C-alpha cells in the first residue's frame, strides 16, 4: 500500500502520440521540470530518461480569441483549470541495468514516473576506485554523481564555461581526487590560484617556471626572448648562437649567447642580418634581469622537477603569452617523450627506467591562448600530439577555457569527456555542439540557465549525461574582484 502510494506520488504522466526507441512525448499531470530524470517500464524493459523540453498550453485560450472576451474567460478558468495541459519531451538514456537503448519504443499509455533516488544512484554512482564523486544531481541532491577518472586520462577532458562559473573549482576537485589515488597531476597555473590545494594535508609541489636554456629548442628560446614568430633572420641568429652557447658549457649560457651575437652576427656584411642581430640583442639586453630569473643553467630538467603521486603546479604568473607558450610547449613535449620512454621500458622489461613511471594528467588553464586557431603557437602542435597519441602513453590533457570558439577544432574534436557550465554566447554554443558529438541541441539550449558551480557532464567519463551541482573546493584561491568605489571612498575619506 505504502509502495503504491509512493509510486503514485511520483507519477508524472503518460506517453502519448508517436515515440521512438530513444525519444517520446508524455502528457503530464503537472508541469514537467527541465532536466528531470524519469523512469518508464514497458515490455521487459526498465529505462531511464531525461526531460528535454517542457511545454504548457491551453485548449481554450488561443490566438484566435477575441481580445474583449479574454478577461472573462480567464476568470472562469481560474475556478476550473482543466483546459490547461502540460507536455514533456523526453530522451531515453537507456536501460537502468546496462544503459543500452532498448530496440522498442515505449507504447502510448506507458506510465512516466519521476525517477527515484535508488534508480538514479544505480546509474550515477557506480562503485570502483576509478569512479570519483564530483557533486550531486541538480534536481536530485541526494544522488551522487561519480565520473570515471580513467577516461579523462585515456581520452582527455574539456572544461568550458564563461568566466567565473567554476571551471578552476572543478580542476581543483579533480586534481585532489587524482592525488588521493596517488596519481600525478600537473597544473599550468596561470593565475596563481592552486597553491593551497592539499591532498590529505600535504601541500602541492610548486614549480617555478625556470628552464635550462640548453634543454630548449631554438624556437622555444626565440619565443621566450620575444622574437616574433616568422621573423626568419632573427630566428636564424637565435639558432646559430644557441648552438654555440649549448656547446660552451663552462660559461653561462646567456653570456655566451650574447657574446656570439655581438662578435659574429653583428659583424656580417649582410645588412638585414646585422639588423636582425641588433634586434635580438636589444631584446636580450632589455630583459636581461628577467631572463636571468627564467633561464637557469643549473636547473634540473623539467621531468626531474615533477614529484610523482602529487599535485604539481607550474607557476606561470607574471610571464608574457609568448613565454608561457614556450614553457608549456617545452613541458608538453618533455612529458610525452618521457611517457613514451616509460611505456617502452615496460615493454622491453630489461631497461631500468626511473622517470614518469605512471600516467599523468595535465590541466591547461586559459587554453584559448595557446590552443587557438588564429595564433600559430608552439604548444598547439604539442597538445595536438598529446590528444592524438597520449592515450597510448598515459598522458591525459584537461583543456580549460572561457572562449571555446577560439579553440582549435582539430584538438577539441579528439576530446572524449566534457564539463560545460553556463555559456550564453551563441557562437560558443554552436562551436561546442559542432566539436562534441555528445552535446545534443537540447542540452546546449540549457547552458544559459545554469548557475555558478553547475555543469552539464557528457562524454566517456559519465555513463549518461548528467546535470550536476559540482562540490565546492574551499582551498582554491578565488580571484576576488576588487571594489574600486569602496577603495576610492576609503582613500578619500581617510
Ligand X SMILES: Nc1ncnc2c1ncn2[C@@H]1O[C@H](COP(=O)(O)OP(=O)(O)OP(=O)(O)O)[C@@H](O)[C@H]1O
Binding site for ligand X (CB under 6 A): 161, 163-169, 402, 452-453, 470, 472, 478-479
Dihedral (CA of 86, 92, 98, 101) sign:
positive
Residue nearest ligand X, CB atom distance: 453
19 versus 401: smaller Cβ distance to ligand X: 401
Taking CB under 5 A as the binding criterion, the range among 5-13, 20-28, 160-168, 307-315 that sits at the site for Mg ion is 160-168
| Cβ distance to ligand X smaller for residue 409 or 479 | 479
- Tell me the closest approach of the beta carbon of residue 159 to ligand X, in angstroms: 8
Helix ranges, 319-478 (H): 321-347, 367-370, 378-393, 409-412, 426-435, 441-446
Nearest residue to Mg ion, using CB?
168
Closer Cβ to ligand X, 32 or 166, answer by number: 166
Residue 34 binding target from Mg ion, ligand X, none, CB below 5 to 8 Å by type: none
The C-alpha cell of 200 is what?
590529505
164 binds, among ligand X, Mg ion, none (CB under 5 to 8 A by kind): ligand X
Count of CA atoms in the C-beta half-sphere (13 A) of 23: 9
Q: How far apart are CA 335 and CA 344, in angstroms?
A: 14
Which residue number, 163 or 492, has a Cβ lying nearer to ligand X?
Answer: 163
- 355: Cβ contacts below 8 Å, ≥ 6 apart: 303, 338, 341, 342
**CB 169, min distance to Mg ion, A:** 8
Among 19, 110, 168, 377, binds Mg ion (CB under 5 A): 168
Stretch 114-153: interaction string toward Mg ion, x if CB under 5 A: ----------------------------------------
Residue number, 53 or 425, with CB nearest to Mg ion: 425
402 binds, options ligand X, Mg ion, none, Cβ within 5 to 8 A by partner type? ligand X
Residue with cell 560558443: 428
Closest CA to 141 of 280, 17, 37, 7: 37
Query: Does 414 interact with Mg ion (rule: CB under 5 A)?
Result: no
Query: How big is the site for Mg ion, counted in residues (CB under 5 A)?
Result: 2
How many other C-beta atoms can be found within 10 angstroms of the C-beta atom of residue 283?
A: 18
* Nearest distance, CB of residue 124 and ligand X, angstroms: 17
CA dist 52 and 429 (Å) reads: 17
Contacts of 466 (CB under 8 A, 6+ apart): 124, 137, 145, 456, 457
163 contacts which partner out of ligand X, Mg ion, none, CB within 5 to 8 A by kind? ligand X
State in angstroms the smallest separation of the CB of 193 from Mg ion: 7
Q: How large is the angle between the packed helices 232-247 and 253-263, nearest 10 degrees? A: 130
- To 10 degrees, what angle do helices 378-393 and 321-347 make? 20
The CA-atom distances, in angstroms, between 156 and each of 105, 227, 387, 393 are 34, 32, 7, 12
Nearer to ligand X, 261 or 468 (CB): 468
Residues near Mg ion (CB under 5 A) are: 167-168
Amino acid at each position: 500500500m505504502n509502495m503504491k502510494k509512493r509510486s503514485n506520488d511520483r507519477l508524472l504522466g503518460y506517453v502519448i502520440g508517436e515515440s521512438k526507441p530513444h525519444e517520446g512525448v508524455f502528457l503530464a499531470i503537472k508541469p514537467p521540470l527541465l532536466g528531470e530524470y524519469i523512469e518508464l517500464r514497458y515490455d521487459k524493459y526498465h529505462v531511464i530518461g531525461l526531460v528535454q523540453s517542457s511545454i504548457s498550453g491551453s485548449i481554450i485560450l488561443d490566438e484566435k480569441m477575441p481580445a474583449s472576451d479574454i478577461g472573462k474567460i480567464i476568470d472562469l478558468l481560474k475556478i476550473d483549470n482543466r483546459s490547461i495541459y502540460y507536455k514533456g519531451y523526453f530522451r531515453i538514456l537507456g536501460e537502468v541495468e546496462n544503459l543500452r537503448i532498448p530496440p522498442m519504443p515505449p507504447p502510448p499509455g506507458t506510465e512516466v514516473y519521476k525517477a527515484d533516488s535508488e534508480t538514479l544512484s544505480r546509474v550515477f554512482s557506480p562503485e570502483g576506485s576509478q569512479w570519483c564523486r564530483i557533486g550531486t544531481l541538480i534536481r536530485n541532491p541526494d544522488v551522487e554523481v561519480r565520473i570515471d577518472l580513467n577516461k579523462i586520462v585515456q581520452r582527455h577532458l574539456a572544461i568550458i564555461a564563461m568566466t567565473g562559473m567554476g571551471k578552476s573549482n572543478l580542476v581543483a576537485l579533480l586534481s585532489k581526487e587524482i592525488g588521493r589515488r596517488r596519481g600525478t597531476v600537473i597544473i599550468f597555473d596561470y593565475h596563481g590560484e592552486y597553491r593551497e590545494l592539499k591532498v590529505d594535508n600535504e601541500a602541492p609541489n610548486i614549480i617555478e617556471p625556470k628552464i635550462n636554456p640548453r634543454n630548449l629548442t631554438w624556437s622555444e628560446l626565440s619565443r621566450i626572448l620575444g622574437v616574433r614568430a616568422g621573423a626568419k633572420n632573427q630566428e636564424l641568429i637565435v639558432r646559430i648562437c644557441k648552438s654555440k652557447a649549448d656547446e660552451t658549457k663552462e660559461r653561462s649560457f646567456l653570456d655566451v649567447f650574447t657574446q656570439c651575437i655581438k662578435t659574429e652576427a653583428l659583424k656580417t656584411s649582410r645588412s638585414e642580418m646585422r639588423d636582425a642581430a641588433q634586434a635580438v640583442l636589444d631584446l636580450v639586453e632589455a630583459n636581461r634581469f628577467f631572463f636571468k630569473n627564467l633561464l637557469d643553467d643549473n636547473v634540473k630538467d623539467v621531468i626531474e622537477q615533477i614529484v610523482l603521486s602529487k599535485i604539481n603546479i607550474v607557476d606561470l604568473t607574471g610571464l608574457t603569452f609568448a613565454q608561457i607558450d614556450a614553457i608549456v610547449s617545452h613541458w608538453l613535449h618533455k612529458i610525452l617523450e618521457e611517457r613514451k620512454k616509460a611505456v617502452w621500458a615496460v615493454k622491453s622489461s630489461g631497461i631500468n627506467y626511473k622517470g614518469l613511471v605512471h600516467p599523468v594528467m595535465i590541466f591547461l588553464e586559459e587554453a584559448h591562448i595557446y590552443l587557438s586557431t588564429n595564433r600559430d603557437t608552439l604548444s598547439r602542435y604539442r597538445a595536438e600530439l598529446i590528444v592524438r597519441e597520449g592515450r597510448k602513453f598515459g598522458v591525459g590533457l584537461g583543456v580549460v577555457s572561457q572562449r571555446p570558439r577560439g579553440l582549435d577544432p582539430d584538438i577539441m574534436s579528439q576530446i572524449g569527456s566534457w564539463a560545460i557550465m553556463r555559456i550564453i554566447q551563441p557562437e560558443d554554443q554552436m562551436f561546442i555542439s559542432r566539436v562534441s558529438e555528445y552535446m545534443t541541441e537540447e542540452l546546449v539550449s540549457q547552458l544559459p540557465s545554469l548557475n555558478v558551480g553547475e555543469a552539464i557532464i557528457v562524454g566517456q567519463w559519465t555513463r549518461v549525461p548528467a546535470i550536476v551541482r559540482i562540490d565546492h573546493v574551499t582551498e582554491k584561491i578565488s580571484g576576488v574582484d576588487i571594489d574600486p568605489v569602496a577603495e576610492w571612498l576609503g582613500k578619500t575619506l581617510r
